[in-house]
A and B are shown apart, each in its own frame.
Chain A
Amino acid sequence: MAATQDTMDRIAEVSGAYKYGFVTDIDSDKAPKGLNEDIIRFISAKKAEPAWMLEWRLKAYRHWLTMTEPSWQKVDYPPIDYQDAYYYAAPKGKDDAPKSLDEVDPELLRTYEKLGIPLKEQEMLAGVAVDAVFDSVSVATTYKKKLEEMGVIFCPISEAVHRFPELVQKYLGSVVPYSDNFFATLNSAVFTDGSFVYVPKGLRCPMELSTYFRINERNTGQFERTLIVADEGSYVSYLEGCTAPQRDENQLHAAVVELVTLDDAEIKYSTVQNWYPGDETGKGGIYNFVTKRGACRGRNSKIMWTQVETGSAITWKYPSCILQGDNSSGEFYSVAITNGAQQADTGTKMIHIGKNTRSRIISKGISAGRADQTYRGLVRMMPKAEGARNFTQCDSLLIGDRCGAHTVPYIENRNPSAQVEHEATTSRISDEQLFYCLQRGISEEDAVALIVNGFCKEVLQTLPMEFAVEAQKLVGISLEGSVG
């Protein structure tokens, strides 16, 4: 109740602060183009946020103004004009949306079919305006109720800001501070929505939390913000994304994901990401600049990142672990596939702070077409990381001779008792392997999918079951047309 009252007060406060033209039109569905403090106030007001949230956003924005876009990563894209973008847009009205699947790009539908996505979900993914209530709504509601009974909080972060302000204030920005990096700072200023998860002490969350269950609430837009907190001795597995290619008119995506594990807690975070990569030349594809970071704050805590990345024109992301608690461990399993004109600069950072901390990195990069891919991994052993260990295995597979793969390991060891191990391989799909498959009657496309899935197996098997099956199909589909 108090929270609600607080919200109303804040709205009044914000509304009173209108000095600038457009903001008076709070019913507008879209903020004007460009980025300034007014736009941020507008977004905050739209969400009826408390003052502390707005202050945080503004702090981030002011800091962002002092920053310059990073250029060290090995990706190449035309300069982004941040003033030429919309930072708030309400969900598209039915009038703009396709009326039925007949109006949707057949290429997209073909992919949905191959992935075996049910018709209703296809409509949802393709943004068709449908009135029908999805089956998943009732499923989602049932699950949500169950979760709430157990004490698990799983809701949009915009809702959490109102309902659980203490938790949000305590943890938001505690892993990725508002000043962290150009894209994360931008996100802090303008984030629209995302998920909030809190798992109470000692609870093993019995079901996978999936964005699937809130697919109907999906309107998180281009600046998604996710915060997951696992309290002492708890466990949760979270699935992000979707194997189906998603189109979005926003080219720039800059999400932030923060994970926190306290003593003996564990978070498993799996992503299958398949943003629209653009046409042959990469035109129209999504730029995906994401900051994902987990803090193993407690003793014996654990964070495991698994990601399968096949989409986007440009990907820039390094899910990382800060291993603070003694005996805590971080794992990173990654499959990144780049085809056509895609570019990816990805990897991870493992920062060992506590004693006997462990990290394990398994990265599988596949490049085809004219794609370019860089693995960038940082392993840092801090002076107090007594007995810490890291193992890194970084394998690249090249298909064809016009693509590239690069491995850039950064290793910093400031504790003589810590050990860092790094192995890297680069291979190609051999003609012999292909012919062997062909001779058994397997088509070239299926053969490539089979061989690549074999190459990625170690990573794919860390995914939850159903996700793994979909990811396998996705691997094949993303490499279509890469040989022959």
Chain B
Amino acid sequence: MALLEIKDLHASLEDDTSKAILKGINLTINPGEVHAIMGPNGAGKSTLSSVIAGRPGYVATSGSILYDGADLMDMEPDERARAGVFLAFQYPVEIPGVAMATFLKTALNARRKARGEPDIEALDFLKAMKANAKRLGVAEDMLKRPVNVGFSGGEKKRVEILQMAMMEPRMCVLDETDSGLDIDALKIVADGVNALRSPERGMLIITHYQRLLNYIVPDVVHVLAGGRIVKTGDKTLAETLEAEGYAAFTDAAAA
């Protein structure tokens, strides 16, 4: 069974359903596959990730999204998360006064609770957090600081991936995780993501730059323009795009 199966998905803002942002997306991700989505600004990439995760303000006006065979649209955003859908935010959100470590622990325990398991042992949690922090080059001190408050752009992105590693999701959606990262950080984050590749896990990686895909080599590359997937290919498609730009596709989408 496909891990994520999107069929003819149309979506818009809740406030303005007359204006479609996504205009018929079809996309199937099987367990173990890594898909990349590229496309010009305003094409609808973040909107797609929002609709998958259930961000308030966005609605699917027609079509469907099945996750592991279940209708995602029937699930609340937190249920989706607990079921294994993880979104690494393009713009991670600040929560003043809440230590990142506390936030992580609360999130982990929410999952455990839903599975009827007891809270994680403090020591196990610390160990896991430290190991992941080390791997992703995140200073331990940072995890004592409030969630994303005062984090640099690159730090925020690393910590998003750290969260992803801790949650062990089945479907990872990464929205421009590479933007804001310097070259060294890009390599570290990519290694972190690669370490999470596994036969059960699917990934959807939204990016503007082929560079990331040199490190995280995708199985499939899609071009999203004007709310539609206008081209699908293998990793060489990313190289073509890098060389030639989106012009050909934006014309196609407008047509």
Contacts and interface: CB of A to CB of B under 8 A. Distances in A.
Interface in B155-204: 163, 167
B55 A446 contact: no
Contacts of A457: 97-98
Interface stretch (B77-85, B224-232, B235-243, B244-252): B77-85
A435 B58 CA distance: 12
A436 B89 contact: yes
A433 B89 CA distance: 12
Given A450-B106, A453-B98, A443 B93 contact: no
Contacts of A435: 55-56, 77, 93
A435 B53 CA distance: 9
A324 to B, nearest CB: 35
B77 A438 contact: yes
Given A431-B57, A438-B81, A455 B163 contact: no
A441 B53 CA distance: 11
Contact of B97 (A432, A438, A443, A456): A456
A372 B163 CA distance: 38
Given A432-B93, A438-B81, A443-B110, A454 B146 contact: yes
A443 to B, nearest CB: 5
A446 B57 contact: no
B24 interface: no
Nearest to B92: A436
Interface size of B as a range: 20 to 34
Interface residues of A, number: 24
A438 B82 CA distance: 9
Contacts of B87: 439
Contacts, number: 79
B114 interface: yes
A450 B106 CA distance: 9
B96 A454 contact: yes
A439 B95 CA distance: 14
B107 interface: yes
A205 B53 CA distance: 54
Q: Which of B54, B97, B111, B114 has the most CB of A within 10 A?
A: B97
Nearest to B53: A439
Given A438-B76, A439-B81, A443-B78, A454 B97 contact: yes
B103 interface: yes
A422 to B, nearest CB: 20
Contact of B78 (A432, A433, A444, A450): A444
B93 A442 contact: no
Interface string B39-78: 0000000000000011111000000000000000000111
User: Which has the most chain B C-beta neighbours within 10 Å: A437, A439, A451?
Assistant: A439
Interface in B94-132: 94-98, 102-103, 106-107, 110-111, 114
Contacts of B111: 441
Nearest to B111: A441
Given A432-B93, A450-B103, A439 B98 contact: no
Interface string A417-430: 00000000000001
Nearest to A443: B78
A441 B114 contact: yes
B167 to A, nearest CB: 7
A453 B95 CA distance: 11
Contacts of A283: none
B102 to A, nearest CB: 8
Nearest to A461: B97
Given A431-B57, A450-B98, A439 B106 contact: no
Given A436-B89, A438-B77, A446 B106 contact: yes
Given A432-B93, A439-B81, A455-B96, 20 more contacts: A431-B57, A433-B93, A433-B94, A434-B56, A435-B93, A436-B89, A436-B95, A437-B103, A439-B53, A439-B55, A439-B77, A439-B78, A441-B78, A441-B81, A442-B106, A442-B110, A450-B106, A451-B95, A451-B98, A453-B97
24 contacts: A432-B93, A433-B93, A435-B55, A435-B93, A436-B92, A437-B78, A438-B77, A438-B81, A439-B53, A439-B77, A439-B78, A439-B87, A440-B103, A440-B106, A440-B167, A441-B111, A441-B167, A442-B106, A450-B103, A450-B106, A454-B97, A454-B146, A454-B147, A457-B97
